[in-house]
Amino acid sequence: MANDVVWDALADPTRRRIVELLVQQPMRAGAVADSFPVAAPTISRHLRVLRQAGLIEEVRVDDDARVKVYRLRQEPFGDLGAWLDQVQAFWRDRLDAFSRAVDESEAGELGRTEQ
């Protein structure tokens, strides 16, 4: 299961929106900050939380070591997806069992009313 640090990082709507931006393409911190109506230092803090949670990584640009680009890391999202798949399978099985029980109950009642 995904760890609590990941869930805590994704609990914030601004950080989820940053993840959505980075799904499209890796971005510089300034480009990420330009997408929000808050100060750049605020976005830097959000990027730091996402980085510490292991959701994103910072990559230096080859031709300029001062420039950092942020991109998503695949592994934690794979873990999240696997956990969500387990939860969905649980509920799918429960709903299928409930549906079968309702169908059997209705069939039993229908059989009694026809007699």
Asked if 2 and 83 count as a contact pair (C-beta separation under 8 A), the reply is yes
Q: Measure the CA–CA gap between 72 and 70, rounded to whole angstroms.
A: 7
Q: Measure the CA–CA gap between 76 and 3, rounded to whole angstroms.
A: 9
How do the pLDDT tens digits run along the chain, 115 residues long? 457 888 899 999 999 999 999 999 999 999 999 999 999 999 999 999 999 999 999 998 777 778 889 999 988 877 777 778 888 888 887 887 888 888 777 777 666 666 5
- HSE, CB side, 13 Å, CA atoms: give it for residue 12: 16
From the list 12, 48, 53, the residue with the least C-alpha distance to 40 is 48
User: What topology does CATH give the domain 4-114?
Assistant: Arc Repressor Mutant, subunit A (1.10.10)
From the list 55, 10, 18, the residue with the least C-alpha distance to 35 is 18
From the list 2, 36, 37, the residue with the least C-alpha distance to 11 is 2
